[in-house]
Amino acid sequence: MNLEKVVFAFFIVLSLTLNFGFFIGDLDNPNHHNVYELYAALVVSLIATIMKFGDRAHIGAVLLATSLVADLQLIAAVIVWTMAEHATGVGMTPMVMSSIVSLSGGALLANIISVIILVTETVMFRR
């Protein structure tokens, strides 16, 4: 067993599950979406992205692209949350929460594609 591949897969799947945990719930209800879960999803996604930089294969490039998309979506969600709470004084309205959850949904889709590619690559691996 290759420990590096285990850690790599761990972070990819953890990124997906944290993002899913944040995404699930009523779209516009802030009580269903924890800010710390969003930040954890972003941090783990960034770690997964850093781990993907070493792979020079074509599949590695596609994995990196999906991870960058997820990072951008999560960064945008964090910026919207931060601006609503601290910069504009608007607070967490249903419209703002819907925007944050929608951005997280885009990241979730990118993470799902990343896991599908990882599983496909694993199934195609020959010893």
CB 107 within 8 A of CB 19: yes
In 3D, which of 44, 63, 43 has the Cα closest to residue 53?
A: 63
Residue owning tokens 């949904």: 105
Does the pTM exceed 0.95? no
**pLDDT tens per residue, range 81-121:** 999 988 887 888 999 999 999 999 999 999 999 999 999 98
Question: Which residues are CB-contacts of 96 (< 8 A; sequence separation ≥ 6)?
Answer: 80, 81, 84, 90
**Range list of H helices, 24-53:** 35-52
